[in-house]
Amino acid sequence: MALAGGAAAESSFMATYCVGIDLGGTFIKFGLMGAGYRLVGKTFQLPTPTDRGGQGVVDQMAAGARRALAEAGVDPGDVAGLGIGSPGPLDLAAGVVIATPNIPGMRNLPMRDLLSEAMDLPAVLDNDANVAGFGEWLCGAGGRSGDMVLLTLGTGVGSGIVIDGKVFHGAHGIGAELGHMVLVPDGEICNCGQRGCLERYCSATFMSRAAAAMLGDIGRESLLRDAMSRRGELTAKDVSEARAAGDEFAAAVWDSMTRHLARGCVSIARILDPQRIVLGGGMAAAGEALLEPVRRHFRTMHWCLTDIRTEIVLATLGNDAGVIGAAGVAWQQFAAA
């Protein structure tokens, strides 16, 4: 647009920023997004206050947002808005946190409006897993094109869906909970009250539990037997390390998890047909050791009516996905033309 007029040229150089805030049970993470969805400076975190109720959390958010601006030397007048990723359930339309299992004092908290008033800036509230998905789509493995699904494999399984370049919420704001699609009929009971949820078979929790149960059943030798007898329990890390060290038993547990995950990915491909399924969270640190068997089982289980279209890839943003996505949601709502 070399020939653009003065006003247009000027406005395209006007500095605009959005603050991204990722609320967790232990820390609140902050970042400042500038033009081109680029982070300005580094993200940082402050402890999540647990002794001053919901208002204490909002105060800490405002303090962090001010610090983010101050460190970057950005005037609040150049900020288009703030985006918050929060655990839920949430009332998205009202900007209210209905409850958070891990942070006290957050029942029916109008977080969006409280923060907006504290900062005198517009704010938007969204689900933490949804905004992490949006972050990966915007600046990470999603490549900012095509629909995308993020699965974060940790203690549980979080997820986000991006359709047509926007966070997908469902009709009541409780969709995109892929960790609670039913993978096994009448299977393991889940904390959510359902049975057989994906989260029960594709999480670190599954790894340690399945390994412990299989150790009890089978007489065969395993590196895991030592860890079990030393500590009385196993972690996903034990399983992962034993697998990496060539332990056949640990490899079988790992393979079982990747097979469940691949089956979930087949259903996701049939329903949502995304461009990419992105695997993130602690378990994705295994890298190729996760990706290779998931892709292999996915190929085996996939239908033959078309070739495979959906790619399965690793997340690239790590813990910054939530902050970037939260800022990105604010950008989309308040700064985009």
CB closer to its own copies, 34 vs 142: 142
CB closer to its own copies, 85 vs 146: 146
Q: How far apart are CA 30 and CA 327, in angstroms?
A: 9
CB closer to its own copies, 96 vs 118: 96
Which residues from 274-313 bind its own copies, rule CB under 8 A?
274-275, 301-306, 309-310
Would you give the binding string for its own copies spanning residues 178-207, x where CB under 8 A is met? x-xxxxxx----x-xxxx------------
CB closer to its own copies, 42 vs 107: 107
Q: How many residues bind its own copies (CB under 8 A)?
A: 46
The answer to whether residue 39 forms part of the interface with its own copies (CB under 8 A) is no
Give CA angle at 280 (54, 233), nearest 5°: 85
The number of beta carbons lying within 10 Å of the beta carbon of residue 273 is 12
Q: Which of 112, 169, 200, 297 binds its own copies (CB under 8 A)?
A: 169
- 159 neighbors 179 (Cβ within 8 angstroms): yes
User: Which are the contacts of 137, defined by CB distance < 8 A and separation ≥ 6?
Assistant: 143, 144, 148, 150, 162, 165, 325
User: Which are the contacts of 117, defined by CB distance < 8 A and separation ≥ 6?
Assistant: none
Q: Output the DSSP codes for 162-220.
A: EETTEE---TTS----GGGSB-STT-SB-TTS-BSBGGGTSSHHHHHHHHHHHHHH--S
Per DSSP, the three-state class of 274 is coil
Q: Which of 176, 228, 284, 294 binds its own copies (CB under 8 A)?
A: 176
- Minimum CB distance to its own copies, residue 151 (Å): 12
- Minimum CB distance to its own copies, residue 75 (Å): 36
CB closer to its own copies, 45 vs 194: 194
- Minimum CB distance to its own copies, residue 176 (Å): 7
The answer to whether residue 175 forms part of the interface with its own copies (CB under 8 A) is yes
- 283 neighbors 203 (Cβ within 8 angstroms): yes
Q: Output the DSSP codes for 214-262.
A: HHHH--S--HHHHHHHHHSS--HHHHHHHHHTT-HHHHHHHHHHHHHHH
CB closer to its own copies, 223 vs 312: 312
Which residues from 130-149 bind its own copies, rule CB under 8 A?
146-147
The answer to whether residue 128 forms part of the interface with its own copies (CB under 8 A) is no
- Minimum CB distance to its own copies, residue 28 (Å): 23
- 312 neighbors 298 (Cβ within 8 angstroms): yes
CB closer to its own copies, 61 vs 269: 269
- 115 neighbors 62 (Cβ within 8 angstroms): yes
Footprint of its own copies (CB under 8 A): 89, 146-147, 161, 163, 168-178, 180-185, 190, 192-195, 260, 263, 266-268, 270-275, 301-306, 309-310
